[in-house]
A = this chain, B = another copy of it.
């Protein structure tokens, strides 16, 4: 059995639950292997005051699943052409790309979502959707799957998207078993998005 690499991309100011919700799900796939990477490698921190050890982007295995979280750290990266070029290369080399929260803003900024449907954090909607030339941003979606791209709404939505991804690839029983092991009450319909309302009211910026 070939092991599928799941490559988690971290950066200073990533949002923890964007990462560790999906990781809690994907870590139960026996045929996958998790790895954590940042552009230079080393310890990467966040506003919740902890650091995670990472290897450099140069060590990412091609052909795997890429996971890109959001967080306030996406703001400086969205204007960092060198980082975005590396992201684009990693995306092209990956079989599947998952983003959570404003991780999709980075994908859009790296021109990876052109012509695609996608979603993002509903509180950072105006900012996140300012990237990309022709991205079909979905305001009412807990997550969106389009081709090899799976993009989730804010933070907690990543866990539901990860379970939906497992359901599609590994089957309903596997996803159900993982959710039960996590004692997680899953939201299985992408269109059930209680946080979408805020956008329709024009609140977020």
Classify chain A: how many residues form its interface, as a range. 35 or more
Q: Are B49 and A33 in contact (CB under 8 A)?
A: yes
Interface string of A189-205 (1 = CB under 8 A from B): 00000110000000000
Closest to A46 in B: B27
- List of B residues within 8 angstroms of A24 by Cβ: 15-17, 48, 155
Kindly provide the distance from the CB of A2 to the nearest chain B CB, expressed in whole angstroms: 18
Q: Which chain A residues (41-76) contact chain B, with CB distance < 8 Å?
A: 43, 47-53
CB < 8 Å neighbour of A184 from B15, B43, B156: B156
Closest to A51 in B: B53
- List of B residues within 8 angstroms of A140 by Cβ: none
Q: Is A123 an interface residue (CB 8 A)?
A: yes
CB < 8 Å neighbour of A47 from B27, B51, B156: B27
